[in-house]
Amino acid sequence: MPEEVNTGVLLFVAYRAMEKRVLDAIAEAGFDITPAQARIFQRIGPHGTRLSELAEQAQVTKQTAGFLVDQLERAGYVERAPDPTDARARLVRIVDRGHAAIPVAAAVVAQVEAEWAAHLGKRRMSALRDALTHLREITDWPPAAR
């Protein structure tokens, strides 16, 4: 009898399937972003995010986050800009080329979620989203205030 796959692996498989489709679509649209770069890029807030926050959210070292931001900056997806709330700090902000990639990725995410909903049915898809949303309360990084 085959061993049951643990929930973490099941979540990871679904995530990686979506991630691959998103990265394939953005590559096809002319954007070259690696999975590691995407994990940093997707955490940049609308008004910019400090490098230390990106590193914490992506659960990588500040040096790794800095290396990935350097790559994204050289490719024209982001910029480093002064933080208006702290003259000593800098924010990583998405620039025009980065903003152009976002709708491509968002369209694929919507398509994949629609396919999952069609496969699971509305009720099961809603239950899945609800369960995962509640699970974020104890799994999101950094941990949510309790």
Helix 96-120 and helix 122-139, axial crossing angle in degrees, nearest 10: 130
Does some domain include residue 78?
A: yes
Does some domain include residue 69?
A: yes
| Mean pLDDT value across residues 119-138 | 95
CB 90 within 8 A of CB 50: yes
143 pLDDT band (50/70/90 cuts)?
low
CB 146 within 8 A of CB 136: no
56 pLDDT band (50/70/90 cuts)?
very high
Say what the pLDDT of residue 1 is: 56
| Sequential DSSP letters for 50-94 | EHHHHHHHHTS-HHHHHHHHHHHHHTTSEEEEEETTEEEEEEEEE
Output the domain CATH number for residue 32.
1.10.10.10
Report the amino acid identity of residue 66: G
Does some domain include residue 144?
A: no
CA distances from residue 108 to 2, 21, 33, 94 in whole angstroms, order as listed: 33, 7, 15, 20
Say what the pLDDT of residue 118 is: 98
**pLDDT tens track for 87-116:** 888 999 999 999 999 999 999 999 999 999
Does some domain include residue 2?
A: no
| Structural domain for 45, as ranges | 7-139
Does some domain include residue 72?
A: yes
CB 50 within 8 A of CB 40: no
Rg (alpha carbons) of the chain, rounded to whole number = 17
Residue 82: which residues within 8 A CB-CB, separation 6 or more?
Answer: 89, 90, 91
Count: domains in the chain: 1
Classified as helix, coil or strand, 146 is coil
